[in-house]
Amino acid sequence: MLRMVIGGAWQGKRAYAEAHYQITGADWTDGSVCSREEFLKARAVCGLHAYIRRRMEDGAAPEAVADEILAVCGESLQVVTSDEVGYGVVPMDAGERAWRETCGSMSSPPSVPMTRSGRCSPGRFWSPTAICTGALSIP
């Protein structure tokens, strides 16, 4: 099962994952620059939101991106971090809205089978309210 840590930019998501999920620096793949092949083989991805954006900018349909992520969840891919992108003003650009929606759907069960999910904010990790493979509510 996948472990996901979400939060604002530069809030300690990667450090938290390394400290709690037995992930080392060598395990990480950077979602902002990795190839599709590197992503599919990764054990841990830092920046899932950036990977989703790049794939969609390259012309991949949101459903195709979601399917490729789901195909490796809990298999090779064990831990992901992602910035929260759903706050603020809804973008006028349709592509930006599609990216935002895809990131949101990948950050919440039941879309993604995961054992743990949580949110980092300055100096604090919000523990999940449930360990699940179904619905999860994060404070």
For the chain, the structural domain boundaries read 2-126
Pairing relationship of beta strands 114-121 and 124-126 according to DSSP bridges = antiparallel
- Among candidate residues 61, 67, 45, the one with its CA nearest the CA of residue 99: 61
- Entry pTM: 0.75
pLDDT at residue 46, as a whole number: 93
Q: At which residue do the structure tokens 């900018």 appear?
A: 57
pLDDT at residue 8, as a whole number: 80
Mention every residue, 6+ apart, whose C-beta is less than 8 A from residue 102. Answer: 52, 56, 62, 65, 66
Please check whether residue 68 is in contact with residue 59, taking contact to mean a CB–CB distance below 8 angstroms. no
pLDDT by residue, tens only, the chain of 139 residues: 778 888 888 888 888 888 888 889 899 999 999 999 999 899 999 999 999 999 999 999 988 888 888 888 767 888 888 888 877 777 788 888 888 888 777 766 545 555 555 555 555 555 543 333 333 333 3
Q: Is 87 exposed, middle or buried (0-12, 13-18, 19+ CB in 10 A)?
A: exposed
pLDDT at residue 96, as a whole number: 86
Fold of 2-126: Rossmann fold (3.40.50)
Distance CA 115, CA 128 (A): 10
